[in-house]
Amino acid sequence: MIQRSQFTQNIQNNAQRVYKNERLYKKRQALVEHPYGTLKRQWGFDHIMTKKGIKAASADLG
């Protein structure tokens, strides 16, 4: 049985858009991800728990 998410087409479209605009997305990472990481660190979230399993990683997201 093969299952597809109802969002598969959206995911594929986004992947294609990222591929076509790779430079733009790299720039976004540099501009957006750094301040976000700084805020997290200031709030005391200075590390992630992904090394402890998927359940712990979902706690980081929350």
Whether the predicted pLDDT of 47 surpasses 80 = no
Exposed, middle or buried by CB within 10 Å (0-12, 13-18, 19+), for 49? middle
Look at 23-27, 41-45, 57-61 and tell me which has the smallest mean pLDDT. Answer: 57-61
pLDDT reported for residue 6? 92
49 and 56 Cβ atoms separated by less than 8 Å: yes
- Residues 6 or more apart whose Cβ sits within 8 Å of residue 8: none
Residue 36 lies in a domain: yes
To the question of pTM greater than 0.75 for the whole model, the response is no
User: Structurally, how many domains does the chain consist of?
Assistant: 1
Residue reference for tokens 């929350």 = 62
19 occurs within a structural domain: yes
Q: What is the residue range of 45's domain?
A: 8-61
Tell me if 48 is assigned to some domain: yes
In a domain, 30, yes or no: yes
1 falls within a domain: no
